[in-house]
Amino acid sequence: MDNLISTKPYLIRAIHEWCVDNNLTPHLMVVVNSQTRVPMAYVKAGEIVLNINYGATKDLHVDNEAVVFSARFGGVSQSLYIPISAVKGIFARENDQGMFFDVESQGAEEVQRAEIESNETAKQDKTKKPTLTIVK
């Protein structure tokens, strides 16, 4: 009995399906940690909220370990990986109904490091000038 699978991924899938069935937009609230792969430029206070509607994602897959999909941020497609342990909640954007979970606490240093890296990346992106390449 000690090896039971967590109910959390099942509840995430159920709330997602409920949102889709009711024409609502499912959003995932994520606590960013070292295992989470999300665009750091959009992380605020160590968290990010992601639209996980089928129209906003590509190849969305929620299993017992992680939520994995591709999405566009600023017109650039990115692959995202969110461990189930980092999911803080799933809810419908239109009415805020959903479910929120306890998330294992992470060190404040890790969150600060992620935010510093995000700010440095954003500064580097702003200093680069756009270029055109002619393709024949």
Q: Report the 10 Å Cβ neighbour count for 14.
A: 13
pLDDT attached to residue 3: 86
pLDDT attached to residue 102: 87
Q: Hey, what domains does the chain have and what are their CATH numbers?
A: 8-127 (2.30.30.220)
Three-class secondary structure of residue 51 per DSSP: strand
Spatial separation of the C-alpha atoms in residues 10 and 64, rounded to whole Å: 8
Q: What is the pLDDT along the chain (136 residues), one digit of tens a residue?
A: 678 989 999 999 999 999 999 999 999 999 999 999 999 999 999 999 999 999 999 999 999 999 999 999 999 999 999 999 999 999 999 999 999 998 865 544 455 555 566 566 556 555 666 666 677 6
pTM higher than 0.85, yes or no? no
| Buried residues in 102-125 as b, exposed as e (16+ CB within 10 A) | ebeebeeeebeebbeebeeeeeee
